[in-house]
Chain A
Amino acid sequence: MKRILIFVTSLLVAVSAMAESHATKPTLMVVPSDAWCSENGYVQDFDNQGTVERIPDYKRALQSDQNLMLAISKINDMMADRGFPLKDLESNLKSIANRTAEMNVTTSKSGSTIAQSPLDMLKNTAKADIIIQLGWSVSETGPKKTLTYILRGLDSYTDKQIAGASGSGAPSMSSEVPVLLEEAVVDKMDEFTGRLEEYFNDLFDNGREGIFEVRVFDNGSGLDLESEFGGTELSEIIDDWMHQNTVEHRYSQSEASENYMLFEQVRMPLMDEKGKAMTAKVFADNLRKYLKQTYQIESKTANRGLGRAYLIIGEK
């Protein structure tokens, strides 16, 4: 009787745990496209180790262009109506600024500041798992205006376009840009969300697609990806692990050297065997634990969102 009770209780716990398991929800955010920012002068130049790079200045764009705010807000509303609220770009930029300000003034009683690595600082930007880029232009022929727009959903990690909508509105004499923009966005949104839905379905069927990089710390230990363990090179051990742990063994090893391996189109399961949501970081941590437990190799993991992770061999 006691055994039956234990069995039934275990079954109930397992069922309820499975029922509560959910995959980690990707975040989406609408941003103006780079081309739109450049065309309208909302860009800033920065010196990237001697090379001048031009990056979009979202903050200035939002503060200066009323139409942009309206377009973003409209898309946010429509996605919220579909039960998928988006991250708001303006709020995200404000919270980053507030967080940075708070971190700069936070000290311990002994006067220590909060530790921040260069990587932490680099990561402190507006980001989402899926970026929806929006751009438009208005052309005038006589008294008539025509609005041409483009909406692209991009996977931040694989850089693949997962949804898109574009087109030109009907030429109009009286309509203002916000009205034309609203009409265009409303009319194309079902097409866009339909594609997004297909992407999510693929995610559930075939796992989340991610990118994994393996690098080696230059610490003079002599350990690299060609080091052998029981006659097998470390790169082969990692490749075998990928083969065993990806959904239907789907992944491709795009680059490999003694110091670097790049795995693309890695399909990782959305849940691990315990029903815990899987992200690129969790996936990379599993590889890190495997290398530590089986070959006593120390390594460090880092991630960029849900779909991109790094494993650096050699030390923590």
Chain B
Amino acid sequence: MKKIVLFLVTVMAATVCMAKSSADKNTEQWKYDIECAGVGAQGTYLVKVYSYSKSQAKAQKQAIKNAVHGVIFKGVMGKGRECNSQRPLAKAEVASQHQDFFDRFFAEGGDYAKYASATGAPETSKVGKEYKVGVVVSVQKDQLRKDLEDAGVLRGLSSGF
């Protein structure tokens, strides 16, 4: 009996670890596309994020994280006359300069979740062996920028003066 319990606990722990490492892997790869989805309220970007994963649920879960990452590092692609492209808040090198900060920021349960919320129903399609899940996300870019400036990750317009 003791052996069975031990076996079950080991299997469960391994499953949790694998799930976590899979999520982390998705995070590290940052495999997503981001485009504007209209004009958001002042201080926000309304974006549509397409996340890719073998698990539909995981792709959907990654949407918020990817949206925040996209606003910080990728920028938002425009969509004709509907909405304009937006430049990223930070340059690519900021990620490596503040790697510890962003590792914590984008970890499961990290602060990234404070700045975005999904709206509407997700749009799912299958691309090869993966699911492509499109989610419209509202990102509070003004607050995000301010907090990153306060944390010393981004330089404010007035810094140095």
A, B from the same assembly? yes
Q: Does A7 contact B (CB under 8 A)?
A: no
Q: How far apart are B82's CB and chain A's nearest CB, in angstroms?
A: 7
Collect the chain B residues with CB atoms within 8 Å of residue A79's CB: 157
Q: Does A191 contact B (CB under 8 A)?
A: yes
Whether A200 and B157, one on each chain, are in contact in the complex, defined by CB atoms closer than 8 angstroms, is yes
Collect the chain A residues with CB atoms within 8 Å of residue B156's CB: 82-84
Collect the chain B residues with CB atoms within 8 Å of residue A23's CB: 160-161
Given A82-B156, A186-B42, A204-B160, A194:B142 Cβ within 8 A: no
Whether B157 and A83, one on each chain, are in contact in the complex, defined by CB atoms closer than 8 angstroms, is yes
Collect the chain A residues with CB atoms within 8 Å of residue B158's CB: 25, 83-84
Whether A191 and B161, one on each chain, are in contact in the complex, defined by CB atoms closer than 8 angstroms, is no
Give the contact stretch, choosing among B5-13, B83-91, B130-138: B83-91
Q: Does B61 contact A (CB under 8 A)?
A: no
A24 to B158, CA, bound (A): 11
Most buried by B among A24, A168, A190: A190
Whether A190 and B160, one on each chain, are in contact in the complex, defined by CB atoms closer than 8 angstroms, is no
Interface size on B, residues (CB 8 A): 18
Which of B82, B85, B157, B160 makes the CB contact (< 8 A) with A82?
Answer: B157
Whether B83 and A197, one on each chain, are in contact in the complex, defined by CB atoms closer than 8 angstroms, is no
Q: How far apart are B71's CB and chain A's nearest CB, in angstroms?
A: 10
Interface residues of B, dominant DSSP: loop
Closest to B36 in A: A187
Given A81-B142, A191-B86, A191-B87, A168:B81 Cβ within 8 A: yes
Q: How far apart are B65's CB and chain A's nearest CB, in angstroms?
A: 21
**Interchain Cβ contacts within 8 Å, total number:** 45
Whether A170 and B87, one on each chain, are in contact in the complex, defined by CB atoms closer than 8 angstroms, is no
Interface size on A, residues (CB 8 A): 26
Q: Does A167 contact B (CB under 8 A)?
A: yes
Closest to B149 in A: A83
Within 8 A of A (CB), among B105-161: 141-142, 149, 155-158, 160-161
Q: Does A44 contact B (CB under 8 A)?
A: no
Q: Does B39 contact A (CB under 8 A)?
A: yes
A80 to B3, CA, bound (A): 66
Q: How far apart are B43's CB and chain A's nearest CB, in angstroms?
A: 8
Q: Does A183 contact B (CB under 8 A)?
A: yes
A196 to B81, CA, bound (A): 25
A306 to B48, CA, bound (A): 44
0 or 1 for each of B72-97: is its CB under 8 Å from A? (1 = yes): 00000000011111110000000000
Within 8 A of B (CB), among A156-193: 167-168, 170, 183, 186-188, 190-191, 193
Q: How far apart are A222's CB and chain B's nearest CB, in angstroms?
A: 45
Closest to A26 in B: B161
Given A82-B156, A83-B158, A84-B157, A170:B82 Cβ within 8 A: yes
A binding-site residues for B, Cβ under 8 Å:
22-26, 79, 81-84, 167-168, 170, 183, 186-188, 190-191, 193-194, 196-197, 200-201, 204
Please give me the 9 A-B residue pairs with the lowest Cβ-Cβ distance, nearest first.
A25-B161, A84-B157, A83-B158, A194-B87, A83-B156, A82-B157, A84-B158, A187-B84, A170-B81
